[in-house]
Chain A
Amino acid sequence: MNATRDVRGWRVKPPSSPSKVGKRMARKKSLITYVQVAPLTVVLFFFFVIPIALVVLVSFFRYQMLVGIVPQFTTKNYVDLLSNPTTWSLYLSTIKFTLIVLAITFVLGFWISYFLVFHVRNLITAIGLFLLCTIPFWTSNIIRMISWRPVLGREGLINSGMQGVGIIDRPLDWLLYSDFSVVVAYVHLFTLFMIVPIFNSMARIDKLLLEAAVDAGATRWGVVWNVVLPLSKTGIALGALFVVTLVMGDFFVVTVMSGGMSGSATSGIFNDLQFLNYPRAAASAVILLVIVLLIASAIFRLVDVRKELVK
């Protein structure tokens, strides 16, 4: 750096302003920051911003049977979708599944993490048990899902077992191809997404806090309720976010496990793509995106994940 460049420092500054050198450092620092975020920005721009912009654009185009997309502005896709009771019942059914799965995976995730963090004294054992939880993830999603069929089917393990023992005399039909089997598959597939973040935030809790609470006279439940739960809320929020987006965006699990008897918000998109109705599929996608974003922002409003994470 030579002195002539410093001419830019002519502006009158309050005496407390940082020195020229300091400012230059700051500028350099911020430049470095820009460089550091540049790769991610570029990636996000090309693989996130542009595709989303295209989807939004196409959602306002007209569709013509046998031709496909006609680039003429119309709001028909949105009007059609929003005024159609089918859309609403599909969303209702998807939200129902989301809430049920969220509740179950939260209870499971919370207590499994609690057990791993606070009951297992040996760190190695805890890590070992944690890894056990990931074993189902060594096989593909589809296998994990399909493998429920021989268990839940009419002539499956549970039905034939219970019939053998004499608890029931005819097979229970609602075990498979029902809302029940859909929830079972979702819980099986997604509980780990709840366990990992909750485990992570619980592991950061200083154990001395728990001792202090007990010393101060808290009951066992009081400790969980007043200490562990509030301190794990970042993990819970992140886990909930995973589960919500996974369930809301799914159409495959629900189709396979309900035997095609239930739909989801996404199955409409799939059906539209079958005959190249990209505009309506795009409009559905935008609506879904808006709803998921609303849910996500509600979750972030409850818990400031950013603040909690840097703590």
Chain B
Amino acid sequence: MKKTGGLLNKKISRRNLVAGGAAIAGSAAVTGFPMVWAQKLKDITLNHTGMSYSTLADIGKQAEKDLGFKVEMSVVDHPGLLNRVSNDPKSIDVADVEIWQNKVLIPQKVLQGIEIAKIKNWGDLTSLYTDGTFAGKQVSREGDSPIEFIYRRSVDDGGPSAAKTDWVNFLPGVFNADTLGIRPDLVGRNITTWADLISPDFKGKTAIQNIPTNGIMDAMMAFESAGQLKYRDKGNPTKDELAATIAKLIMLKKGGHFRALWSTFDESINLMASGEVVIQSMWSPAVTAVQAQGIKCTYQPLKEGYRGWGNGLSLLGHVAGLKRDAAYEYLNWYNSGWVGGFIAKQGYYSSNPKTAMAALTENERGFFYEGKPATADITSPTGKKTNSAGDKRDGGSFEERFSKVAVWNNLMDQAEFLYAKWNEFNAA
């Protein structure tokens, strides 16, 4: 660290730049790069790898425009991301991981700590991630909530720390609260509870997601609210609880309750748009996509609350020197507004609500964040109309939605057992 001050005063040559790069990158004092650096950054290509719903080509393009270096977006599926990060970490610079995936990745020791002091807008980021509270209240700890994994013990020790430290495992990314999607024109009655997913009224007209870790959550929410099963902690069910849940799911499946089990996002869109199902597990952008086809689809708020999930941007261990500087630039840019505005239109939230809201028009801000009726047409990120003037967003304002997260997506202790059981459900 001592070297840093001296180096900055010197005229920077290519050689000592490379040599001192790591030292500088470790220093919090560096803000605003000299011209030479900007020149060098141009040659950098940063790879951002994540899942299809958040790793969007448009984000990479905009980042390139704003930052001046190349940002390459690669899309993988959930297991693909875990596999890539653990087995081929050098092929990724920034990994867009779901909170629960940290449980797998932290022990692999492939991520490096992100220094909070170098994240300029850290103070503006939602307390949901940085403090584990939302709107002044503690957020649910059922399942893997962001606060349980974000702080690391030290630079070198990625183990999650209960107390706040100066280093984090990931920069807060996009997040949302999931619920059931319905076709208001076809359900024929009010939908108010998760139990409606398993209600005999919708026999043969429902679908559940065939992604074990998420599907089981939807199922547990439904069985619990229907009073059929009880759980000590839905975020970490016991073997017995899982076995009982799967047994009930199998009974429903054999009884013809489910029209389908969907495993990809577009399957859920097709099921809903074609009217094959009228109530199902769904993700927010899928609802937007159905609406964009001119079909009424509601992301129905339910009295038991939402299933929350979140993403974070992690830095891979090998990223160093100039590339690390570029990566920090990117992390700072990510929560500076443009991304927040873009993903708001597919129903997601940015970890920096302040800049995201500023990036939206007044109409959009009112609709997506403040729970106000739209004053003009609302469009999807691709510019297709999703809602008309007068429509209100399902679930109300940002604050209203997020104060009702009941449980988080997670990787439970009994995940291995869950997967085996879920296989039985598939085979039944």
Interface residues of chain A, those whose CB is within 8 Å of chain B, are 63, 65-68, 84, 86, 89-90, 93, 149-150, 153-155, 173, 176-177, 255-256, 259-263, 267-268, 271-277
Contact = CB atoms under 8 A, between A and B. Distances in A.
B104 A86 contact: no
B81 to A, nearest CB: 11
Interface stretch (B91-99, B136-144, B344-352, B413-421): B413-421
- Most-contacted residue by chain B among A177, A259, A262, A272 (CB, 10 A): A259
B270 interface: yes
A2 to B, nearest CB: 56
B276 A154 contact: yes
B411 interface: yes
A259 B204 CA distance: 12
A89 B423 CA distance: 11
A261 B274 contact: no
A261 B260 contact: yes
B420 A84 contact: yes
Interface string B245-284: 0000000010000111111000100110011100000000
Contact of A260 (B82, B104, B260): B260
Q: Which of A66, A255, A256 has the most CB of B within 10 A?
A: A66
Contacts of B276: 153-154, 176-177
B293 interface: no
B110 to A, nearest CB: 12
A181 to B, nearest CB: 11
B258 A275 contact: no
A149 B276 CA distance: 11
Nearest to A150: B274
A155 B204 CA distance: 14
A276 B82 contact: yes
B420 to A, nearest CB: 7
A176 B267 CA distance: 14
Contact of A86 (B83, B275, B424): B424
B261 A274 contact: no
A230 to B, nearest CB: 40
Q: Which of B107, B207, B253, B420 has the most CB of A within 10 A?
A: B420
A65 B427 contact: no
Contacts of B330: none
Given A63-B416, A274-B212, 19 more contacts: A68-B108, A84-B420, A86-B420, A173-B259, A177-B259, A259-B259, A259-B260, A259-B261, A260-B260, A260-B261, A267-B423, A271-B422, A271-B423, A272-B419, A274-B78, A275-B419, A276-B82, A277-B416, A277-B419
Contact of B258 (A65, A261, A267, A277): A261
A308 B267 CA distance: 46
B79 A68 contact: no
Contact of B274 (A66, A93, A149, A271): A149
A275 B411 contact: yes
B427 A173 contact: no
A93 B416 contact: no
Contacts of A274: 78-79, 212, 419
A259 B258 CA distance: 9
Given A86-B424, A153-B274, A276-B82, A173 B204 contact: yes
A259 B415 CA distance: 24
Contacts of A67: 107
B427 A89 contact: yes
Contacts of B82: 275-276
A86 B415 contact: no
B210 interface: yes
Contacts of A267: 423, 426
Contacts of A273: 79, 83
Given A154-B276, A267-B426, A260 B263 contact: yes
A267 B415 CA distance: 17
A303 to B, nearest CB: 33
Contact of A276 (B86, B260, B261, B427): B86
Contact of B275 (A89, A93, A155): A155
A261 B419 contact: no
B296 interface: no
B346 to A, nearest CB: 23
A271 B275 contact: no
B79 A261 contact: no
Contact of B427 (A149, A263, A275): A263
Contacts of A256: 267
Nearest to A272: B419
A263 B263 CA distance: 13
A154 B263 CA distance: 20
Contacts of B318: none
Counting chain A CB atoms within 10 Å of each CB, the highest count among B83, B210, B276 belongs to B276
Which among B207, B416, B426 has the highest number of chain A CB atoms within 10 Å?
Answer: B426
Interface string B70-96: 000000001100110010000000000
Contact of B79 (A89, A149, A260, A275): A275
17 contacts: A66-B104, A66-B107, A86-B423, A89-B427, A256-B267, A260-B260, A260-B426, A262-B426, A263-B426, A263-B427, A268-B423, A271-B212, A272-B419, A275-B82, A275-B411, A275-B415, A275-B419
